[in-house]
Amino acid sequence: MKTIQEQALDLAQILEDGKAENVTVIDVSELNSWTDFFVIATIRSSAQIQGLQKQIKDFVKENDMQIHLTHRKQPDGDEWNLIDIGSVVIHLMSQEARDFYELEKLWHAGKVLR
């Protein structure tokens, strides 16, 4: 069985294979109690988001993981899609959202693995 870190890195590879850009994995396990890794990627279109979400769901199912439903006050859009898998949280972001929120800067104390 793979470690959570290996699963996070595998998810990052899936995103990169799906043409997501600037894929980053940050170990935030020492910084909070609700997740261990962020996987952040820049996406270019809603079609790309849909394809990547399907691949992520397939990976989750194959690895006996579970996607936790997130509740949003605003309707889902193409700017920032969050997939919560418990120990791994995936952020699929437009370039504009990524530039605005700067998650890597916000979580700078985490260890960048990729």
* Residues 80-99 pLDDT 10s: 999 999 999 999 999 999 99
Could you read off the pLDDT of 47-77 as tens digits, one per residue? Answer: 999 999 999 999 999 999 999 987 665 555 6
Q: How far apart are CA 112 and CA 37, in angstroms?
A: 10
- Return the DSSP state at 68: B
Per DSSP, helices labelled H in 63-110 are 95-101, 103-106
For 43, the 3-state DSSP assignment is coil
Beta-bridge partner residues of 38: 26, 89
